[in-house]
C-alpha cells in the first residue's frame, strides 16, 4: 500500500510539533540569533490567498535551515487586525467588528497551521488585543512627549525643550501651547479628504483619482481637527539611514523619492511698493534675514537661485496667508472666487487631468531683490501651499510649469541660462520661445554673466545672504503624517481635553495616565456613521466620553488611530509578547534586534516601511530600543498572477484575426480598417504550437495570445490554498510556490506545475519507502553501506548547491538540485541510508511534513527540526575526467574527454590531436590559441 499520502501525514506532524512545542523559542537567544519576519496579514474575510504563503514559505525555509545550523531563531506571526472591512461589515450587519475580526483570525490561523510554518505560535499577537493596544497608545504618548532637537538631530523629552523667556513670562498655558508646536504628535486644523458616502475622512493614499479607494465614492476637502505626526522632522535621518540597509535598490530609491530632498535657497521679495524698496534693502543689509518674514515681503523657495534674473512673475498658493494682503479692491472678487474653488477641489483634482494651468492676478507686485525689477504676483493652484514657502518666483524660460503658465497668460519669458552650443532648439530658447531646464552659462544676469550654473547658484546665494535677502535652504516633499481617522475600529487616542465648568473645551489637553492604559473602545449598539465629519466615537455614551481626573472634567479624544499604528511596531512586541511592564524588555530587545530578514509585498515599499522606521527612530532616541534601524535586510516577494489565459481575437462578423492586426484605440479594440474586435477566451485544446507562437488548431494562420492577469474575484482566477492542500498537500504547495521562479519575480500560477512538484515528492517517497509493503518500511534498495564515488559526488554536490542556494534565497534552483538528486538515486540499485538521511534533511525546510515522515522511516527517533544540517566534503566533489569543448573561431566543433587536472599544454596537445579539429584546421593557419584549463580550447585560424 503505502503511497505518499499528505492528507494523513501533514495533520499528524502538525499535531506533533504543537504538542512537543517543537518551535517554541527561548526568551533569549543562545549563540547566534536570526530574527526572520513576515509582514503580518490583514485577516480579511476571504481568507489566505496563494500570494501569502509565498513570502511565508521563503522565511520558513530560512528559519528551519537556520535552526539546523545551530542558530537561535525567532520566527513569529500575528495579525494586523484593525481595518475598514470589519467596520463596514459591522455597519451592514450590526455585528461588533471584534467578533468578525476574531472569526477571521481563527480562519487565518487554521490556514497558516495547515501549511506547516514553524512559527512560535505562543507569541502570536493581534493589533486589536487590548494588551497590544495599550502599548500602541503608550508609544503614541512617547511621540506626544517628544520634540526633535535640530541641533542634536534627535528626539528629546518635551520637558527638555528650551522655553523662551517671553513665553515663560506668559504663564503655564502659554508654555504648554509653545510645547504643542514642537511635539512629534500634535493637533491641527487640516484640510482632509472627506467622503460623504463612507462618512469618513480618508488618507491621501486612500483616495484614488478623487474617489475613495474603497467603493469609489466622491471625496472633497474640508477642514477638520486632526492629529498629525511630525515625521518631517526625521526626514534627513530617514534618508541617510537607508545607506546602511541591505534593501533592494529600487525600494531605497522609492523611499528617497518619497522623502524628496532638494537643495536651494529661500529668497525674500519686497511687496511693499517700489518707492520703499531701497530703504527695505538697506534695512535688511543692516539687520539680516529675519526668521519669520515681515508682512511686506514674500518668501519663496527655489532650487534655481541662478535664474533669479529671469523671474518675470510670482505665484502664491490659493491657501497662502498673504493672499488677502496682496489682493486689491479691484481683484478681490475674482481672487476670492478662485481661492474658494481651489479649496473645494481635492489635491488630486488640482494636480491631475487636463493640466491646463489656471490662475488669477492678485493685483500686487513684488520687487526682484537682485535687479529691482517690478513683477506681478499671481494666485494659482499649481503652487502647493504645503511645499516650500507656498510661494514661488516664476522663471518661465527655465521651468516647464512656469513656461506653460506664462504662455497661457502672456507673461514675458526671459532666458538667463545659455545652453551649450550644440543644444538643439538653442535659438528658440534664447528667444524665449522654448523652455530649457538644464544647466549652462548665465546670460542677462548682470555681473554673473558667463559663469556656469553651479557657480552662479553658489554666488547668488552668498550675495543674498550677505544682503540679508535670502539663505541656503533644504526642502522635502515628505509631509507630516495625518494620523487620525474618524472611524470606530481603531485604537482610541489616550488624550483628554479639559472642559470648563460650562462643559466647553478650554484648549488644554493632557495624556491619559500610563496606569489607565489601555483606553478601550466604548460599547456601541449601532455602528452606522452619524454622517457628520466628527469621529464615530462621538456616539459613545457619556460614561465613556467624560472623565474626571484630579478634580477636573475632561472629554476624551474621539478620533481613532489609522491602521498603520499597530503595524509600526509589532515586530518589537513579538520579542516579548506578554510583558505587562514594558512594550519590550530591553535585554530581550537588544538580544533579538535588528530583524535579519523581512519579507513582504512591494505594496508596503514606501508607507509602512517609512512609518515603522520613523517610530523606531523615535523609540531609539528615547532609549527604548537599541538600534536606529529595525529592518536590516528586506526582500520583496513578487506578485503571483492567475493561470495563463489564451485569447484569440474575432471581428464582429466572426472572422478570427491575429493579435498583431488588432489596434488599441479610443474606440477600444478595432482592426486597422476600424472594424470592432472582440477578445475570445480559447481553450488549450483548440490551440497548437507553430513556429515561435501559438495558433488556432483549425486556422493555423491565426495566432493566439497567452497572458496572465492579476488574481481577482471579478476575473475568477483566484487560487485558494485550501483547494491546493486538499488536492496536492501542503508540502506540494510550499514547494511549488518556491519552484515557480525567483522569489522577487512576478510569476503566473500553474496547477500543472503543482502536479509537477507533487510528482517530485512522490518520487522522493518511492526512493526511500517500499512500494508494495503493507506498512511504511524501507525500500529494499536502502543499504547500510558507503556511497561509491559517483554517489558521493552527487550527494555532496547536492548538499553544497542546496546550502548555497538557500543562503542566496534562490529556492527555485535549490529544488531543481534536489530533483536531480532524486533522478540519480532512483536509478541506483543500492541507495546508502546515510545519503538518504542527508537528502531528507536537505528537503526538510521546503517540505517539512514528508521529510519528518521519511526521517522517521529511516530510523530517526524525534523531529529532524534540530538535526545538524549536512555538510559537504570538497574532496568528494572532484571529478577525475572532464569533457572540454573545442572551438575554432569561437564556434563549437568538437569535444574531448581529458583528465580533470590537465595542464594548459596537455589540453592544447589533446585538442590538436582531435580528428575533427585536425580536419578543420588543415590548410589554415593558427593565429592564436586560447586555452582555459578546465574550461575550453579555442583556435583562431585563417
Partner RNA sequence: GCCGAAGUGGCGGAAUUGGCAGACGCGCUGGAUUCAAAAUCCAGUGCCCGCAAGGGCGUGUGGGUUCGAGUCCCACCUUCGGUACCA
Near RNA in 437-496, by CB under 7 A: 475, 477
**Identity of the residue, 260 or 432, whose beta carbon is nearer to RNA in the bound complex:** 260
DSSP characters for 148-179? EETTTTEEEEGGGS---HHHHTT-HHHHHHHH
Q: Is 770 in the site for RNA (CB under 7 A)?
A: no
- 640 binds RNA per the rule CB under 7 A: no
Residue closer to RNA by CB (options 355, 447) is 355
Helical ranges in 808-872 per DSSP H: 811-825, 833-843, 848-857
Q: Give the nearest distance from C-beta 387 to RNA in angstroms.
A: 4
Hunting for cell 593557419 — which residue is that? 925
Q: At closest approach, how far in Å is the CB of 696 from RNA?
A: 13
Among 587, 892, 899, 900, binds RNA (CB under 7 A): 892
Cβ distance to RNA smaller for residue 356 or 580? 356
Closest CB to RNA among 307 and 484? 307
Q: For residues 336 and 813, which CB has a smaller minimum distance to RNA in the complex?
A: 813
Distance CA 458, CA 448 (A): 11
The answer to whether the CB of 190 falls within 8 A of the CB of 143 is: no
CB of 355 to RNA, least distance (A): 6
* 736 sits in which H/E element: helix 730-739
Our CA dihedral for 99, 102, 108, 114, rounded to 10 degrees, sits at -120
Angstrom distance (rounded) from CA 939 to CA 916:
13
SS (H, E, C) 913-939: HCHHHHHHHCCCCEEEEEEECCCEEEE
**351 part of the interface to RNA, by CB under 7 A:** yes
Give me the torsion for CA of 492, 494, 495, 501, rounded to 10°. 90
399 binds RNA (CB under 7 A): yes
- Going from the C-alpha of 218 to that of each of 199, 342, 487, the distances in angstroms are 11, 16, 18
Nearer to RNA, 483 or 825 (CB): 825
Closest to 704 (Cα-Cα) out of 715, 691, 693 = 693
Which of 296-304, 329-337, 449-457, 533-541 is the region at the interface with RNA (rule: CB under 7 A)?
296-304
Q: Is the dihedral of CA 839, 844, 850, 856 positive or negative?
A: positive
Secondary structure (DSSP) of 246-295: B--HHHHHHHHHHH-EEEEEEEEEE-S-GGGHHHHHHHHHHH---SS--T
Q: Which of residues 825-864 bind RNA (CB under 7 A)?
A: 826-827
Rule CB under 7 A: is residue 793 a binding residue for RNA? no
Q: CA triplet 103, 108, 112: central angle to 5 degrees?
A: 150
Q: In Å, how far are 776, 874, 917 from 838, measured between CA atoms?
A: 19, 16, 44
Query: Least distance in Å: CB of 185 to RNA?
Result: 22
Interaction between residue 692 and RNA (CB under 7 A) = yes
Restricting to residues 302-321, which ones interact with RNA according to CB under 7 A?
A: 302-304, 317
Separation between Cα atoms, residue 358 and residue 342, nearest integer Å: 10
What distances in angstroms separate CA 316 from CA 76, 308, 321, 339, 875, one per listed residue? Answer: 51, 17, 9, 11, 75
**Cα(637)–Cα(55) distance, integer angstroms:** 6
- What would the x/- binding string for RNA be over residues 726 to 765, using CB under 7 A? -------------xxxx--xxxx-x-xx-xxx-xx-xx--
Piece in contact with RNA (CB under 7 A), picked from 15-23, 94-102, 589-597, 882-890 = 882-890
| CB 23 within 8 Å of CB 119 | yes
780 binds RNA, rule: CB under 7 A: no
| Span of 84-92, 576-584, 867-875, 926-934 interacting with RNA by CB under 7 A | 926-934
β-partners of residue 37 are 598
The span of 39-47, 222-230, 529-537, 928-936 binding RNA (CB under 7 A) equals 928-936
Contact between 109 and RNA (CB under 7 A)? no
| Interface segment toward RNA; rule CB under 7 A; list 271-279, 350-358, 778-786, 848-856 | 350-358
With respect to RNA, which residue has the nearer C-beta, 71 or 747? 747
Site string for RNA, 133-172 (x = CB under 7 A): ----------------------------------------
Least Å distance between CB 824 and RNA?
9
- Cis preceding linkage at 594, omega within 30: yes
Contact pick of 28, 662, 697, 816 for RNA (by CB under 7 A): 816
Q: Does 819 bind RNA (CB under 7 A)?
A: yes
Least distance between RNA and beta carbon 250 (Å)? 3
**Region of 192-200, 380-388, 448-456, 724-732 interacting with RNA (CB under 7 A):** 380-388
Of 177, 530, 726, 895, the one binding RNA (CB under 7 A) is: 895
Q: Does 529 bind RNA (CB under 7 A)?
A: no
Interface of this chain with RNA, residues 230 to 249, rule: CB under 7 A: 249
C-beta of 679 vs 742, nearer to RNA? 742
Could you say whether residue 375 binds RNA (CB under 7 A)?
Answer: no
Q: Which is nearer to RNA, 657 or 740 (CB)?
A: 740
- In the bound state with RNA, the residue whose beta carbon lies nearer, of 9 and 143, is 9
250 contributes a contact to RNA by CB under 7 A: yes
Transcribe 92-133 into DSSP letters: HH---HHHHHHHHHHHHHHHHHHTT----GGG-EETTSHHHH
**In the chain, how many H helices and how many E strands?**
31, 43
Query: 839 near 821, Cβ under 8 Å?
Result: yes
Which part of the chain contacts RNA (CB under 7 A), choosing from 36-44, 49-57, 142-150, 879-887?
879-887
574-584: b or e for each residue (b if 16 or more CB lie within 10 Å)?
A: bbbbeeeeebb
Which residues in the 593-612 window bind RNA by CB under 7 A?
A: 602-603
Is residue 940 at the binding interface for RNA, with CB under 7 A as the rule?
yes
Question: Contact with RNA (CB under 7 A): which of 4, 382, 488, 598?
Answer: 382
Of residues 579, 590, 670, 706, which one binds RNA by CB under 7 A?
706
Please list, in sequence order, all residues whose beta carbon lies within 8 angstroms of the beta carbon of residue 786, skipping any fewer than 6 positions away.
Answer: 792, 832, 834
Does 262 contact RNA by CB under 7 A?
Answer: yes
384 binds RNA (CB under 7 A): yes
Please, what is the minimum distance in Å from the beta carbon of residue 811 to RNA? 10
**Among 290, 452, 693, 859, interactor with RNA by CB under 7 A:** 693
By the rule CB under 7 A, 60 interacts with RNA: no
**Residue 559 CA to its chain's centroid (Å):** 27
Find the binder of RNA among 90, 115, 565, 694 (CB under 7 A).
Answer: 694
Nearer of residues 75 and 398 to RNA, judged by Cβ: 398
Shortest distance, position 875 Cβ to RNA, whole Å: 18
Q: Which is nearer to RNA, 528 or 895 (CB)?
A: 895
Instruction: From 117-125, 153-161, 386-394, 464-472, give the range in contact with RNA by CB under 7 A.
Output: 386-394
Binds RNA by CB under 7 A, chosen from 41, 388, 468, 642: 388
Does residue 713 touch RNA according to CB under 7 A?
no
Give 589: exposed, middle or buried? Use CB within 10 Å, 0-12, 13-18, 19+: buried
CA-CA-CA-CA torsion sign (579, 580, 582, 587): negative
Query: Could you write out the DSSP letters of every residue in 834-846?
Result: HHHHHHHHHHTTT
**Nearer CB in complex with RNA: 501/890:** 890
The number of residues that bind RNA (CB under 7 A) is: 88
Q: Are 769 and 777 in contact (CB under 8 A)?
A: yes
Q: Which stretch binds RNA (CB under 7 A): 64-72, 186-194, 284-292, 819-827?
A: 819-827
Specify whether the backbone of 923 is left (phi greater than 0), alpha (psi in -120 to 50) or beta: left
Amino acid at each position: 500500500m503505502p503511497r505518499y499520502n499528505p492528507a494523513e501525514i501533514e495533520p499528524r506532524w502538525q499535531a506533533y510539533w504543537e504538542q512537543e512545542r517543537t518551535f517554541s523559542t527561548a526568551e533569549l537567544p543562545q549563540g547566534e540569533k536570526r530574527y526572520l519576519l513576515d509582514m503580518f496579514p490583514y485577516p480579511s474575510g476571504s481568507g489566505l490567498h496563494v500570494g501569502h504563503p509565498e513570502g511565508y514559505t521563503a522565511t520558513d525555509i530560512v528559519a528551519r535551515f537556520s535552526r539546523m545550523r545551530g542558530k537561535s531563531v525567532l520566527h513569529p506571526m500575528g495579525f494586523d487586525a484593525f481595518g475598514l472591512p470589519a467596520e463596514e461589515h459591522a455597519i451592514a450587519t450590526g455585528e461588533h467588528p471584534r467578533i468578525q475580526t476574531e472569526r477571521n483570525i481563527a480562519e487565518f490561523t487554521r490556514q497558516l497551521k495547515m501549511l506547516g510554518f514553524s512559527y512560535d505560535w505562543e507569541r502570536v499577537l493581534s493589533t486589536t488585543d487590548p494588551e497590544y493596544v495599550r502599548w500602541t497608545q503608550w508609544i503614541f504618548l512617547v511621540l506626544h512627549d517628544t520634540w526633535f532637537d535640530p541641533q542634536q538631530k534627535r528626539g528629546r523629552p518635551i520637558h527638555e525643550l528650551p522655553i523662551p523667556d517671553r513665553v515663560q513670562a506668559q504663564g503655564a498655558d502659554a508654555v504648554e501651547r509653545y510645547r504643542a508646536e514642537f511635539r512629534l504628535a500634535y493637533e491641527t486644523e487640516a484640510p482632509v479628504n472627506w467622503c460623504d458616502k463612507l462618512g469618513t475622512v480618508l488618507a491621501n493614499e486612500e483616495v484614488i483619482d478623487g474617489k475613495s479607494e474603497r467603493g469609489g465614492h466622491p471625496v472633497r476637502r474640508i477642514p477638520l481637527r486632526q492629529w498629525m505626526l511630525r515625521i518631517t522632522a526625521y526626514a534627513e535621518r530617514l534618508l541617510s539611514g537607508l545607506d546602511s540597509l541591505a534593501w533592494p535598490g529600487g525600494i531605497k530609491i522609492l523611499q528617497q523619492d518619497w522623502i524628496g530632498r532638494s537643495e536651494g535657497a529661500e529668497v525674500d521679495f519686497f511687496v511693499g511698493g517700489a518707492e520703499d524698496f531701497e530703504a527695505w534693502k538697506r534695512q535688511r543689509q543692516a539687520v539680516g534675514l529675519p526668521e519669520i518674514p515681515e508682512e511686506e515681503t514674500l518668501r519663496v523657495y527655489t532650487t534655481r537661485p541662478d535664474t533669479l534674473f529671469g523671474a518675470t512673475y510670482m505665484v502664491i498658493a490659493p491657501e497662502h496667508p498673504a493672499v488677502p494682503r496682496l489682493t486689491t479692491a479691484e481683484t478681490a472678487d475674482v481672487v476670492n472666487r478662485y481661492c474658494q474653488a481651489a479649496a473645494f477641489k481635492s489635491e488630486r483634482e488640482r494636480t491631475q487631468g487636463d493640466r491646463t494651468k489656471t490662475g488669477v492676478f492678485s493685483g500686487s507686485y513684488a520687487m526682484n531683490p537682485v535687479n529691482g525689477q517690478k513683477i506681478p504676483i499671481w494666485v494659482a493652484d499649481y503652487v502647493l501651499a504645503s511645499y516650500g514657502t507656498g510661494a514661488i518666483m516664476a522663471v518661465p524660460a527655465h521651468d516647464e510649469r512656469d513656461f506653460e503658465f506664462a504662455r497661457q497668460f502672456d507673461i514675458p519669458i526671459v532666458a538667463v541660462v545659455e545652453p551649450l552650443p550644440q543644444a538643439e532648439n538653442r535659438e528658440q530658447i534664447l528667444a524665449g520661445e522654448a523652455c530649457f531646464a538644464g544647466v549652462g552659462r548665465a546670460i542677462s544676469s548682470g555681473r554673473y554673466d558667463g559663469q556656469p550654473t553651479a557657480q552662479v547658484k553658489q554666488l547668488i546665494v552668498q550675495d543674498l545672504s550677505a544682503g540679508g535677502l535670502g539663505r541656503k535652504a533644504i526642502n522635502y516633499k515628505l509631509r507630516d503624517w495625518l494620523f487620525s481617522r474618524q472611524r470606530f475600529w481603531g485604537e482610541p487616542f489616550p488624550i483628554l481635553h479639559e472642559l470648563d465648568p460650562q462643559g466647553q473645551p478650554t484648549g488644554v489637553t493632557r495624556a491619559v495616565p500610563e496606569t489607565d492604559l489601555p483606553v478601550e473602545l466604548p460599547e456601541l449598539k449601532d455602528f452606522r456613521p452619524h454622517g457628520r465629519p466628527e469621529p464615530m466615537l462621538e456616539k459613545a455614551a457619556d460614561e465613556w466620553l467624560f472623565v474626571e481626573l484630579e478634580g477636573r472634567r475632561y472629554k476624551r479624544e474621539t478620533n481613532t488611530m489609522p491602521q498603520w499604528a499597530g503595524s509600526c511596531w509589532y515586530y518589537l512586541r513579538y520579542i516579548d509578547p506578554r510583558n505587562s511592564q514594558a512594550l519590550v524588555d530591553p535585554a530581550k530587545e537588544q538580544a533579538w534586534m535588528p530583524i535579519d530578514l523581512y519579507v513582504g509585498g512591494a505594496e508596503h515599499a514606501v508607507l509602512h516601511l517609512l512609518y515603522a522606521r520613523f517610530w523606531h527612530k523615535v523609540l531609539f532616541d528615547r532609549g527604548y530600543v537599541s538600534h536606529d534601524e529595525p529592518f536590516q535586510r528586506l526582500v520583496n516577494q513578487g506578485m503571483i498572477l492567475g493561470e495563463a489565459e489564451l485569447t484569440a481575437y474575432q471581428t464582429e462578423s466572426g472572422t478570427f484575426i491575429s493579435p498583431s492586426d488588432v489596434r488599441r484605440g479610443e474606440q477600444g479594440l478595432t482592426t486597422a480598417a476600424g472594424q470592432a474586435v472582440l477578445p475570445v477566451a480559447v481553450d488549450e485544446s483548440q490551440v497548437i504550437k507553430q513556429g515561435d507562437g501559438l495558433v488556432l488548431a483549425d486556422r493555423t494562420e491565426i495566432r493566439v495570445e497567452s497572458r496572465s492577469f492579476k488574481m481577482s474575484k471579478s476575473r475568477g482566477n483566484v487560487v485558494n490554498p485550501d483547494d491546493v492542500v486538499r488536492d496536492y498537500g501542503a508540502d506540494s504547495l510550499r514547494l511549488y510556490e518556491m519552484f515557480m521562479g525567483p522569489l522577487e519575480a512576478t510569476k503566473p500560477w500553474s496547477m500543472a506545475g503543482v502536479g509537477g512538484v507533487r510528482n517530485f515528492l512522490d518520487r522522493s517517497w518511492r526512493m526511500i519507502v517500499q512500494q508494495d509493503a503493507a506498512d511504511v518500511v524501507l525500500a529494499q534498495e536502502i543499504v547500510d553501506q558507503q556511497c561509491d564515488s559517483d554517489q558521493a559526488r552527487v550527494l555532496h554536490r547536492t548538499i553544497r548547491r542546496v546550502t548555497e542556494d538557500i543562503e542566496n534565497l534562490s529556492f527555485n534552483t535549490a529544488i531543481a538540485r534536489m530533483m536531480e538528486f532524486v533522478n540519480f538515486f532512483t536509478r541506483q540499485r543500492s541507495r546508502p541510508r546515510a545519503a538518504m538521511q542527508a537528502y531528507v534533511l536537505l528537503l526538510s525546510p521546503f517540505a517539512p511534513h514528508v521529510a519528518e515522515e521519511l526521517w522517521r522511516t529511516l530510523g530517526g527517533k524525534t523531529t529532524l527540526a534540530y538535526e545538524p544540517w549536512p555538510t559537504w566534503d570538497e574532496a568528494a566533489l572532484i571529478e577525475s575526467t572532464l569533457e572540454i569543448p573545442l572551438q575554432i573561431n569561437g564556434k563549437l566543433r568538437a569535444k574531448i574527454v581529458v583528465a580533470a587536472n590537465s595542464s594548459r599544454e596537455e589540453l592544447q596537445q589533446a585538442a590538436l590531436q582531435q580528428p575533427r579539429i585536425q580536419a578543420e584546421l588543415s590548410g589554415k593557419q593558427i593565429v592564436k590559441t586560447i586555452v582555459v584549463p578546465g574550461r575550453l580550447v579555442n583556435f583562431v585560424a585563417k
